[in-house]
């Protein structure tokens, strides 16, 4: 059972991250707001309760590695790194600005805490697999987490990596799927045969667990199960696109729409009230 | 070249324990000794090239010096975006070893030719592109790749290519003069350099002495050395087992133009069309006018004009 105080802390962190990212979106007139809000609770959980940090100095790399494969959710990662004290206010302010600091999709040269450059879907899991296998071969402890969108797993490269991973015995690799059931122009469950995702991963030889991607206790349980797995593991996170802002939740248009000043104020009020 | 590649890599793997080979279900008769010596440093990644390329990038992120081995369509074409984003964009120490350069596999069919690989590679920043002519250049290319901290593409043919010349004075990154001459030069890369050398040797008694230059490293281009090597040759034939548009000829035209170099350049390459002809490599070279007979003809034509 997760301590209530810890849950409260994570909720507060998630609220701050949401407000930071909405402010970034407002100032930059950036798209992908819904896609970013969808993964905030997962990132808050990982960065404030899960990922093993190498300790001092503060800029040293994580022992665990996190790959944001759905690179269009970059705002959520930037805001989380900022909340963690690993990305400056100046960096956040320069997001998607002319002569700015951070692009809409990840470029690892912008921060030592960004593990891979990403933006094209289906690249993260193969890289995560290589990284996990390489770390294991070198005897370097730590787990590799790869966060993918649900639409992203339509990419064949994901299943190429899925088929290979169990053969390599990478028990240090965890795939996380942000299953918000909304992709660029439709619902994955309507576009594809998208049912029984956990069984699909299990059939490929992975340990698969379903969790609520907005419930820290549920995530805690799921990750505990994956850590016991003898091979690679997948956590299918049931999430809501646009989570935390009533008028954005489960709305396709929030893959694209921009946040106005009025919307930002309303969203912030809601988030603070919900916190 | 293939034999030299694996021999060199196997030797280097003794001292460089980070060398790791990813083979996309290719390499029968190539990797047996290497695998026996370094069983933990080889993987058959199966028939899944996007994953193999991303996996190679991940292994490099973990500190391995990765060599990906496959026929050229499967190290470059099938997984081009992984090569671009995962390896080149992130500037990781991964070497792509592509076999079957040009028309090596003729008459294997168009799917197995690589006559547009330079067009793709020359569009990729951070990537060093080396197309060795023989075993000596292959060894130097592998040596270079082993110590490189950035991506390298080595484009090799197969096995049994004749050695052009025992010593290369300038190193793998610069042009090497294989036959000295004046007035006319033939610049080539890969196994087709042999056709140019044959042409020069057969012209010995004619009084025409073309200079034969092997240019193994096409990116980055060592223009300073090339200009020096070509100082006494006003006429330059670019001989390629590659499409004419998008290969070395067009790149040199561009670079000569930028540098204000007034040498005449003549292309001898394959027209940019899908190849349906069923010919072996020698027959294809003859058909496309890039064999030694065609080189001799071209040199005589130019020679007549310049008197």
Which pLDDT tens digit goes with each residue over B156-176?
Answer: 998 788 888 877 788 999 999
- The percent of residues above 90 in pLDDT, for chain B, comes to 93
Residue B30 inside a domain? The answer is yes
Q: What ipTM was reported for this prediction?
A: 0.95
Per residue in B94-118, pLDDT (tens digit) is 999 999 999 999 999 999 999 999 9
Q: Coil, helix or strand for B197?
A: helix
Q: How far apart are CA A126 and CA A72, in angstroms?
A: 18
Out of B40, B59, B81, closest to residue A130 by CB:
B59
Residues B126 and B196 grouped into a single domain: no
- Bridge partners (DSSP) listed for residue B233: B183
**Weakly modelled stretches of chain A, pLDDT under 70:** 54-62, 275
Report the DSSP pairing between strands B217-219 and B128-130: antiparallel
**Nearest CA to CA, how far is B11 from chain A (Å)?**
21
**Number of structural domains chain B divides into:** 2
Give just the sign of the alpha carbon dihedral B217, B222, B223, B226: negative
Residues B257 and B130 grouped into a single domain: no
Q: Whose CA is closest to A45, among A72, A25, A60, A64?
A: A64
**Nearest CA to CA, how far is B176 from chain A (Å)?**
37
Residue B33 inside a domain? The answer is yes
Residue B227 inside a domain? The answer is yes
> Does B89 sit within 8 Å of A164, measured CB to CB?
no
**A76: how many CB neighbours lie within 10 A of its CB?**
30
Residues B60 and B204 grouped into a single domain: no
Amino acid A55: pLDDT = 52
As a CATH number, domain A4-274 is 3.40.50.970
Place of tokens 């790149």: B251
Per residue in A207-256, pLDDT (tens digit) is 999 999 999 999 999 999 999 999 999 999 999 999 999 999 999 999 99
Residues B287 and B200 grouped into a single domain: yes
Domain residue spans in chain A?
Answer: 4-274
Whether residue B47 is predicted with pLDDT greater than 80 in this model: the reply is yes
> Does B55 sit within 8 Å of A164, measured CB to CB?
yes
**B275: how many CB neighbours lie within 10 A of its CB?**
18
**What are the backbone dihedrals phi and psi of residue A262, each rounded to the nearest 5 degrees, phi first?**
-65, -45
> Does B54 sit within 8 Å of A156, measured CB to CB?
no
Q: How far apart are CA A227 and CA A233, in angstroms?
A: 8
CB pairs under 8 A between A and B: 93
Place of tokens 């070893």: B97
> Does B56 sit within 8 Å of A132, measured CB to CB?
no
Residue B41 inside a domain? The answer is yes
Query: Which residue range forms the structural domain that includes residue B98?
Result: 2-156
* CATH number of domain containing B136: 3.40.50.970
Per residue in B188-239, pLDDT (tens digit) is 999 999 999 999 999 999 999 999 999 999 999 999 999 999 999 999 999 9
């Amino acid at each position: 059972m997760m301590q209530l105080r810890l849950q409260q802390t994570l909720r507060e962190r998630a609220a701050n991250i949401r407000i930071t990212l909405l402010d970034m979106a407002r100032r930059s007139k950036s798209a992908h707001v819904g896609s970013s809000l969808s993964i905030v609770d997962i990132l808050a959980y990982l960065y404030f309760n899960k990922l093993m940090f190498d300790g001092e100095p503060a800029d040293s790399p994580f022992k665990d590695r996190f790959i944001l494969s759905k690179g269009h959710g970059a705002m959520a990662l930037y805001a989380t790194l900022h909340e963690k004290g690993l990305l400056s206010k100046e960096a956040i302010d320069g997001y998607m600005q002319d002569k700015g600091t951070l692009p809409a999709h990840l470029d690892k040269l912008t921060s030592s805490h960004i593990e891979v450059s990403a933006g094209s879907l289906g690249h993260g899991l193969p890289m995560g697999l290589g990284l996990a296998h390489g770390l294991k071969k070198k005897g370097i402890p730590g787990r590799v987490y790869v966060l993918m969108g649900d639409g992203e797993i339509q990419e064949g490269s994901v299943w190429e990596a899925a088929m290979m991973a169990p053969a390599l015995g990478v028990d240090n690799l965890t795939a996380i799927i942000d299953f918000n059931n909304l992709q660029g122009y439709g619902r994955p469950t309507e576009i594809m045969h998208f049912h029984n995702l956990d069984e699909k991963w299990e059939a490929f030889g992975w340990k698969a667990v379903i969790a609520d991607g907005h419930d820290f206790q549920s995530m805690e349980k799921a990750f505990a199960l994956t850590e016991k797995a003898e091979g690679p593991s997948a956590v299918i996170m049931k999430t809501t696109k646009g989570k935390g802002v009533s008028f954005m939740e489960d709305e396709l248009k929030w893959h694209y729409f921009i946040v106005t000043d009025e919307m930002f104020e309303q969203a912030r009020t809601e988030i603070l009230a919900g916190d | 070249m293939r034999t030299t590649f694996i021999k060199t890599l196997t030797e280097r793997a003794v001292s460089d324990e980070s060398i790791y080979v990813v083979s996309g279900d290719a390499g029968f008769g190539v990797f047996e000794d290497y695998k026996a010596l370094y069983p933990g440093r080889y993987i058959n990644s199966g028939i899944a090239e996007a994953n193999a390329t991303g996996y190679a990038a991940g292994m490099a992120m973990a500190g391995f010096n990765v060599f990906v081995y496959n026929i050229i369509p499967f190290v470059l074409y099938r997984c081009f975006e992984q090569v671009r984003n995962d390896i080149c964009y992130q500037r990781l120490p991964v070497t792509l070893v592509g076999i079957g350069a040009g028309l090596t596999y003729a008459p294997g069919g168009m799917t197995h030719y690589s006559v547009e690989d330079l067009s793709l590679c020359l569009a990729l920043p951070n990537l060093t592109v080396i197309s060795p002519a023989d075993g000596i250049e292959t060894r130097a290319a592998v040596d270079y790749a082993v110590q490189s901290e950035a991506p390298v593409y080595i484009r090799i043919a197969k096995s049994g290519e004749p050695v052009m010349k025992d010593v290369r004075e300038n190193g793998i990154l610069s042009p090497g003069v294989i036959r000295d001459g004046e007035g006319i030069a033939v610049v080539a890369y890969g196994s087709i350099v042999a056709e140019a050398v044959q042409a020069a040797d057969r012209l010995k008694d004619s009084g025409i002495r073309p200079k034969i230059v092997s240019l193994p490293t096409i990116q980055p281009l060592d223009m300073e050395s090339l200009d020096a090597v070509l100082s006494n040759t006003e006429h330059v034939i670019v001989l390629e087992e590659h499409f004419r548009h998008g290969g070395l000829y067009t790149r040199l035209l561009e670079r000569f133009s930028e540098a204000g170099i007034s040498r005449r350049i003549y292309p001898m390459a394959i027209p940019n069309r899908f190849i349906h002809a069923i010919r072996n490599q020698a027959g294809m070279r003859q058909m496309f006018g890039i064999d030694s007979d065609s080189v001799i003809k071209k040199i005589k034509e130019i020679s007549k004009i310049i008197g």
